[in-house]
Every structure is written in C-alpha cells, then in structure tokens.
Structure 1
Amino acid sequence: MSWQHLRTGKTLQQRLAQLQGHLAELNAPRSGLEPGRIRRVFPRNFVKINHQLFIPLSLNSIRVFNVPRTQRGIRVGIRTTFPSRNAFRNIRLVGVGLNYIELQGKGRVPSRILFPLSSVESIYRPRKRTLKGKRGCIRRR
C-alpha cells in the first residue's frame, strides 16, 4: 500500500482549525497532559485551549476526541523523541501533513493523535507476529 494517498497538504494549524470545538488532550514536554476544548486556532503559531495559548509545534502530541474512525490508513509503528513505552508500535497512520502526522487512536472512544514531525524519530512497518510451534496441528480426541 502506498503512502501517497495519505498526504493531506495541510499544516498542523490548518488541521487543528478543522477540529475546533473538539475535546483535546495536549502532551507537553514539561507539564504532562493538559485536557480541554480547542477554543480558537490562530493562523500562525498558537492554539487556545482552556484560556491558555499553546504552540502546537512545540508539543509532544495532541489527542483529539470524538473524531470518527476511518478504514483508510496503514498500520505502522512510531518511535518518538519522548518516552512512550511502545504505545505507538502498532497503530494506524491516517494522514501525513506538511509538518505533522495523524494517527487513529486505539480504544473505545474514537480519537486522532496529531504528532508534530519534531517529536517523531522514525516510522516503521510492524512485523507480523508468527505463532511459534503452531503449524496447523490437528487435535485428536
């Protein structure tokens, strides 16, 4: 499968402007998780969440909730610049922008995780797991 169909041609600011009003959870380098609604997205550098201005390109990740699931995408693993303990080793890549990537979150609540490219070290295809010792044996009773 090709990565070309995932290209959006948008910047992180433009994508966040589309998600204005959604509940978001910011993962910042020194302050941990900051939950809140995306109130306003400024054209250049800032996004307003809970009466605070954040610079999206300086964040580790932005998780946006209540975004519908999609079937398009590629299963990938993401290695990040911050400690993530293999949380992104098998996740669906659904968009590649000019300065960010977009992943479909796991779990019951539909969400998207936006990563600025500055917080991504590498993207790789996860290997398929093989079952050791399970070669199609037939059980006899």
Structure 2
Amino acid sequence: MSWHHLRTGKTLQQRLAQFQGHIAELNTPRSGLEPGRIQKVFPRNFIKVNHQLFIPLSLNSIRVFDIPRTRRGERVGIRTTFPSRNAFRNIRLVGVGIDYIELQGKGRVPSRILFPLSSVESIYRPFRRSYKLKRTCIRQR
C-alpha cells in the first residue's frame, strides 16, 4: 500500500484548526457521542466544543460535518481499539498526518472522520467480492 501521496505533514491540532466553526461529533471513550460546534482549537492539547475542553488525542474519533467530498484517496479497512462493528471496513482514506488519519465519511451528509493513531489497530485493503460462478466438477467413472 502506497500512501505517500496522502501525507499531509500536519498534526491533529493543525488539521482541527482548519475545521474551527464546523459541527463535529466527538466519540469519547467513556461518555459516547458528544455533538457540537468546534469553538476554538488551542495550539497544544485542547479543543473547545460546547463550552467543554477536550483532548483530541484521547478521543476515539472526531467526525466533522459539511466538508466537501474528494475523489482522491484509497479504499481501506480500519480496525479500531474501540468496538465499531465493521463500520470502517470499506472507507476512503484521504489523509495521513503525523498523529492522525483522515477518512471520508459515508452517507448523504459529507463529512470527514479523524482518528488519532492511538485509536487505530490496523489498516488493510478490503477484499473485493467476486461473483464468478463456480464450475462444478463432474466426476467421470
């Protein structure tokens, strides 16, 4: 797998600073989903969402909405450290940063999903299902 063309050279904080003002859904390890608007991104460790400070590197994922779709990227599958029930088995990888990966969200609403590398176990190529008919062998006597 060659992702050389997907490297951004940015940290998660730098990428989130570009999304300041967007609606985001934070997937936290203990309290579940925290939706809200990204109010402020601090230079070092914190982001402010709904008047709360969060540490992005400690989150499971951050889904940012209203981001236009892109055609660049690679189809991959992601195994996460938290239960995701194969939700990320066939998704488009659109960016690889210093401490995060960026995926293009599925569905009608365009979005991006940012995963800190601490919440990713592995990245793999999804298998393509082939619908070829299997030939039956007829045994001759």
Instruction: Name the TM tier (shorter chain).
Output: over 0.9
RMSD of aligned residue pairs (Cα, Å): 1.2
CA offsets, 1:82-115, max 9 Å, x none?
0000000000000000000000000000000000
> TM-score with structure 2 length normalisation?
0.93
- Distance in 2 (CA, whole Å) between partners of 1:134 and 1:99 is 45
* Unaligned stretches of 5+ residues in structure 2: 136-141
* Unaligned stretches of 5+ residues in structure 1: 136-141
Higher-Rg member (1/2) = 2
Fraction of identical pairs, as percent: 86
- Distance in 1 (CA, whole Å) between partners of 2:130 and 2:98 is 36
> TM-score with structure 1 length normalisation?
0.93
Structure 2 equivalent of residue 129 of structure 1: 129
Q: Any residues of structure 2 matched to 1:57-76 within 5 Å, and which?
A: 57-76=57-76
Structure 1 equivalent of residue 112 of structure 2: 112
Runs of 4+ in 1 over 3 A off after TM superposition: none
Number of residue equivalences: 135
- Distance in 1 (CA, whole Å) between partners of 2:34 and 2:54 is 10
Structure 2 equivalent of residue 139 of structure 1: none
